[in-house]
Amino acid sequence: MSQTTEKRSRLSRVGRWVAELVLVFVGVYAAFWLNNYQQQQQDAQRRDRILAWIEQTLREGIESGKISRAKQERTAAEFRRALDAGDMPPLRAFIFTTDYSPGDFATWLQSGGTQLLDLETLTALRNDESIIRWGLSRLARYQKLSDELIVPNLDQDISFFYDPATKKLRKRFEIYPQALDETVKFANELERTHTELLKRIQAERQRNR
């Protein structure tokens, strides 16, 4: 009888030990699951904030870009029209300003942006950023030529820039209408890539809601 009682006692202790072990395991697993769930929620909220910021920035950029592009198209068209009509329209300093900083994009990616967004969205972002880089690089070249060739001679007579006999721009100043056209081209490229990226951002936000 005592052996049976002792055996039952051992089984009871083992049972309690197993039950305690199971409770510890369940508790640890539940804590891990809760922590993982909270992290996912935080990532989702952060992702949406990033996407919302990009979306707002793109909307503002597209709207302001349309206004700038219309002005640039008008300037380029008026100069070309006067040139084709045999006039000798005056040249002005070619200036293109922007608040774009490539370091901002790199910093954002390094801070964890690559881990939160879809691959397609990141690809669209990189493509948009590439268009900006190349466009600004081209315009910077024209501005440099303008600073070297045009700006120092703005007080010269119109014949300095044109051949009076043909009323054509002298060879070294043919970059001026090219610069005006390049500005319009860049504005069109930027609006196209901005619009494509905006659609991509909106699709990702909608999918993750």
Given phi > 0 = left and psi -120 to 50 = alpha, else beta, which region is 165? Answer: alpha
Let me know: does 198 contact 59? Beta carbons within 8 Å.
yes
The residue type at 2: S
DSSP type of residue 168: E
Let me know: does 46 contact 116? Beta carbons within 8 Å.
yes
pLDDT at 36 (0 to 100): 65
Gyration radius (Cα) of the chain, Å: 33
For 162, phi then psi, to 5°, come to -120, 155
CB proximity list for 118: less than 8 A, separation 6 or greater: 204
Closest to 105 (Cα-Cα) out of 77, 134, 145, 133: 133
pLDDT at 17 (0 to 100): 63
Structure-block tokens of residue 44: 């989702």
Structure-block tokens of residue 169: 């721009």
Cα 12 to Cα 110: distance, rounded to the nearest angstrom: 57
Cα 37 to Cα 39: distance, rounded to the nearest angstrom: 5
| Local mean pLDDT, 10-residue blocks, the chain (209 residues) | 55 60 59 64 77 85 89 95 95 82 59 68 85 90 94 95 95 95 93 90 82
pLDDT at 184 (0 to 100): 94
